[in-house]
Structure 1
Amino acid sequence: GSIPRMDGPARSPLIPIVGAPPAMHALPPGCSFAPRCPISIDECLVAEPPLENTAPGHAVACIRTQEVGTAELFTAYRTEITEPATRDDADSGVVLRVSELRKTFPITSGVIFQRRKGEVRAVDGISFEVRKGRTLALVGESGSGKSTTLTQILDLAKPESGTIEIMGRDVATLTRSQKREIRRTMQIVFQDPTASLDPRLPIFDALAEPLRIDGRPRAEIAERVPQLLRQVGLRPEHADRYPADFSGGQKQRISIARALALDPELLVLDEPVSSLDVSIQAGVLNLLRDLQTERGLSYLFVSHDLSVVRNLAHDIAVMYRGKIVEAGPAEQIFDDPRHEYTRALIEAVPVPVVSG
């Protein structure tokens, strides 16, 4: 239930394991999942359940498997997930517009006297829009130009060719003060949550850093940090801990909280769940969807995983060798892909099969 599926409904909630994993230095007695299990009973807290074979190739560590079965456990988790509210975004404005963007890298030879032999067109005349309250997924395999595109957008510098408009402003004409203002409205969540957080800083300082750079008073920062932690499903007392005390999913939630510190309108999500296991990934995807609904956020979502894209994106642009070969609403791309590269990407996604 935690796995985003190509054959399931688009943008529907996934089933995470609720709560947080226990601290490894203070494991609870009994089953480690008992505090987060919807069908746990008092006996679950007595001893760790043994791993027993239930069928060829299948083993279960649960004292209630024979009593309730695995289907009932799945249903119990399903009842804890509610469908998110929807937003009317038919008339939403454009928060990011990229037009005919190009970026090339020279190919040179020689050590002392370098000569240009050619060039690599990393981004070759692409155009797309991110609309308010919607998610545009930039999809493609490694080397297709996705990361170069992000770099060009986040640099807020005049591109080699083409135009980039953020909140209706051409980045090539921005002054230093205007760039600072734009940076408040646009934040990024990186792929690796561990590398994104300074291990020497407690979580309070990690979340307070953008607020301090923006010149916010201490009283506001002290009030804002607990709010951010609650917003991403963590507790205010977590603020005094260090990144090493958290799981990968919790670290990514902290990274999302930091990105939300200055109330941005646009979040750039660079493979935000690719380093997480499926149950933690499900919780983060549900969080991103809920935040978008509550705050009207716009997402530029970069990924190579089309099953994750189907779970979050409203619109899709498929990149191949620096070009956008197909773009449109997500349902149209998945139901009727026109380009052979898009069809190949979709066919490569495995569809999990649950045996009875």
Structure 2
Amino acid sequence: MQMNRPAAAALAAAALCLLTAACGASSDGKAAANSADAAAVTSGYPVTLDNCGRKETFEKAPGRVVVMNGASVAEVSTLLALGLEDKVVANQQGYGMSEVPGRAEAIKKLPTGNVEVNDAYDIPREAMLGLRPDFVLSVTTYGFDQKNGFATREQLKQVGANSYVSPQGCDDDPSKMTVDDSYRLLRDMGKIFNVSDRAEKLIAASEKSIAAVSGKVKGEKKPKVMVLFSNMAMGGNDFSSVVAKGIINDILTKAGGANAFENASKTTFADLSKEKVAATDVDALVVIAYNDPNPAAYAKKLLKEFPQWPAAKNNTYVTLSDSMYLGPSNDLAVQKVAEMLHPDAL
């Protein structure tokens, strides 16, 4: 079980007392305990990260963290996975569901700062400054753009707040994202909050799980998989929420599959006609649910609409949510997709 820093500091002080027999009413004993507490809290600092070409230096662990929306749950999920929920004073991220038991409920319990969000469902500049943050997380540089009404990174620095843009968010191009970016986010948060041991344990467990799955499906035929969001429109065609690039392709590869529409677009999403979808052999279907209480119904509707697909003939589909994104739980997506594609191998 991981301990938070105050608990760890108290344990260090207790150990010091036992080893030196210094516990008692003397001022020397109190000074020694206070010194141990201070050392436990400040060890590992300062920490400096290069983030989107900016040097961000942390003199201590942040204690008033604001998580901007950005249509993501990667950042808040990473903080929760590291046991840092008590550091969050305002969170705008939410998904409503998760492959991790209890995560969606834990996110709902986080404070929102009682902020009135803007038209982009995010925190405007004055509200942000009023939260008195010492650390602000944004998915991309969009969340720090003055033209969008947000506090800039310079303005945050002026009030003593560090800022951070998540991996692949500097140029807002998630088409290049891989599972390694999820590990990078974990590592960066581990360094910033002085919990690198927790981050490395999570990464090691994820790598071990993914390696075990990939090893079992190695050499198997790679089924062609269609990945899309349920009941969501992002373009002008019938199928505009089909994923073509990004972390999802890395997950499919590790699970022993391939994206049926990888070459349909140079960007993350492909905007496809019904005819294009119908003309493509789809061996399996991954439906990502976002604010959809019944993604399985959407998957079954698609399989019925395209009975010529091998996926339809074999009823091969799986519904997933946050594990398919940047975040700490990609190993769960790899496991579930592999179980769908290669049930006999696993």
TM interval, shorter chain, is under 0.3
Structure number with the bigger relative contact order (C-alpha 8 A, sep ≥ 6) is: 1
* TM-score normalised over the length of structure 1: 0.26
* TM-score normalised over the length of structure 2: 0.26
Greater helix fraction, Structure 1 or Structure 2: 2
